Structure 1
Amino acid sequence: MNTPARTARTARTARTARTRHYLMCRPTHFEVTYAINPWMDPAKPVDTDLAIAQWEQLYSLHQELGHTVELIDPLPGYPDMVYAANGATVVDGKVLGVRFRNAERAAEGPAYLEWFRSHGYTELHDPAHVNEGEGDFLVTGSWLLAGTGFRSAPEGHAEAQEFLGRPVISLNLVDPRFYHLDTALTVLDGDEIMYFPGAFSPGSRAVLKRLFPDAILVTEADAEVFGLNAVSDGRHVILPEAATGVARQLREQGFEPIGLDLSELLKGGGSVKCCTLEIRHRPAGA
């Protein structure tokens, strides 16, 4: 449990931003014509131009914060390709491809894997089991946190551990609103995380409490506006502007939250993190 003394010390700690390398996909073809998660409703009109404008704000902000951002060309007919975090999991320069559960997104996996191949990445793995990239795989300093329950298969967790060489902690999601791990949990820096306990099974909540006793616990209200679908560089945390409670908690811990309006992209079930795939390179000298 966080004690007042520990919280005060944490808040005074100087947070350090580290430059990151991201891959994104412009929502040129964004629309909602099918429903594969509770947030998608084909009956609700989608403003593609607004979605592009909101995405451009995120794209520009990453660059303003000093990060490298590359782009993959969007494929016509694949509106969810904007959610680049689902395209792969990259650790130490190794690229674990994806295999989507839903046929509507099946072609995205090969497209993302080909982007990495064409950009000089040589350690690539086309998975045999369902995994939906950083939607369900989140990298901390010590572990690879892996979500299951709605999309990625438990067998995919073992496959990821074998290929990436990182110890995997399987976490069971039980609330369909939080169908991917990146809608229920955010890695802030190293082994610091924040999460919404109600998204997880009792056993998974116990594991999280044991591994991350000082984690920020987020309310259901903030989780519902995708406050946990956030991106952190160790200091700045970009998140939906509607998640005001999360922003307050982050400031108390010394982080600098930056709110954005990605409400149009939320109609497809994604926000800041969903649109941002991190490329983690092999450490120097490794």
Structure 2
Amino acid sequence: MRPTPREASPRRYLMCPPTHFEVTYSINPWMDPTKPVDPALALAQWEDLLDRYRSLGHTVELLDPRPGLPDMVFAANGATVVDGRVLGARFAHPERTDEAAAHLDWFRANGYTRVRVPEHVNEGEGDFAVTSSWILAGRGFRSSPLSHDEAQEFFGRPVIGLELVDPRYYHLDTALCVLDAAHDEIMYYPGAFSPGSRAVLSRLFPDALLATDEDAAALGLNSVSDGRHVLLPQAAVGLFAPLRERGFEPLGIDLSELLKGGGSVKCCTQELRS
């Protein structure tokens, strides 16, 4: 059987250069301050991702990095944008608190008027994934369950709460990727979720691509899809063939330096949904 033909759709993304990226503290299991970061390599890898997006026809806006905020490169965490409405972030750890204001400053300066400063802890697209039918919302390590109701009221879309149970997958975007938002198509790693949440995912997405332990551990789910091209960590080799079988075009990206901070392709990429 031939795979279903796929069509890419132009996207608009927000990214932040890793100008100040370093690992001087540990707020997730991937971070080890004793392992040095190569700033030049981190920048080169990030620029490769930026160039790849632009070569595929996507628009990338840039957020100015601020000194003292080394994790700003993980721009996905700064807000969630749906239908032009911006729900800001409220970070769980004080080391990242000031990133939220930097993001909201950018949105206000760029003409966004429907902006909400959140009451409850959420870490943007780290824990919110958007399909045409639902907003999938992670909880368990960072975002508060109360943020799910807040997002539902603000966006007017049904929010499905999912419990994360493995500390390596501390954000939803490390354990689940939306492959085709228009058709509610995802891939995910079952071991990252509680039994109840696995049952919900199985019911909502019976045909989802399931990642292996090895590909999940390579942060293979921390990926970005435009409906055809799937940009993912090149070390997640087991995902390439299944994606091709479904008609997607996987594109391997090396973000090994940024992985030292616990993030990869998706963490660096916030989608601006108009």
Please say whether Structure 1 and Structure 2 have the same fold, judged by a TM-score greater than 0.5. yes
Cα shift readout 1:207-246 (whole Å, capped 9, x = no counterpart): 0000000000000100000100000000000000000101
Give the one of 144, 150, 153 matched to 1:153. Answer: 144
Query: 1:36-115 to 2 correspondence within 5 Å?
Result: 36-115=27-106
Cα shift readout 1:1-48 (whole Å, capped 9, x = no counterpart): xxxxxxx3xx52110000000000000001000000000000001101
Correspondence for 1:24: 15
The alignment's TM-score, normalised by the length of structure 2, stands at: 0.99
Tell me the distance in 2 between the aligned counterparts of 1:62 and 1:122. 27
Cα shift readout 1:78-99 (whole Å, capped 9, x = no counterpart): 0100000001000000000000
Correspondence for 1:274: 267
Matched, 1:262 2:236: no
Correspondence for 1:5: none
SS in 2 for 1:101: coil
Tell me the distance in 2 between the aligned counterparts of 1:58 and 1:187. 18
Deviation at 1:141, TM superposition (A): 1.3
Correspondence for 1:234: 227
Tell me the distance in 1 between the aligned counterparts of 2:198 and 2:258. 29
Deviation at 1:135, TM superposition (A): 0.1
Residue identity opposite 1:239 in structure 2: L
SS in 1 for 2:138: strand
Tell me the distance in 2 between the aligned counterparts of 1:12 and 1:202. 31
Tell me the distance in 2 between the aligned counterparts of 1:161 and 1:276. 22
Cα shift readout 1:47-71 (whole Å, capped 9, x = no counterpart): 0110000000000000000000000
The alignment's TM-score, normalised by the length of structure 1, stands at: 0.94
| Aligned length, in residue pairs | 272
Deviation at 1:247, TM superposition (A): 1.1
- Identical-pair percentage: 71
Instruction: Name the Cα RMSD after superposition.
Output: 0.5
Deviation at 1:248, TM superposition (A): 1.3
Tell me the distance in 2 between the aligned counterparts of 1:193 and 1:278. 16
Tell me the distance in 2 between the aligned counterparts of 1:105 and 1:249. 36
Matched, 1:211 2:204: yes
Unaligned runs of 5+ in 1: 1-7, 282-286
Residue identity opposite 1:226 in structure 2: L
Residue identity opposite 2:225 in structure 1: S
Query: 1:194-205 to 2 correspondence within 5 Å?
Result: 194-205=187-198
Matched, 1:225 2:218: yes
Tell me the distance in 1 between the aligned counterparts of 2:187 and 2:92. 27
Tell me the distance in 2 between the aligned counterparts of 1:91 and 1:235. 21
Correspondence for 2:239: 246
Tell me the distance in 1 between the aligned counterparts of 2:112 and 2:157. 19
Tell me the distance in 1 between the aligned counterparts of 2:134 and 2:36. 40
SS in 2 for 1:177: coil
SS in 2 for 1:138: strand
Tell me the distance in 1 between the aligned counterparts of 2:23 and 2:4. 43
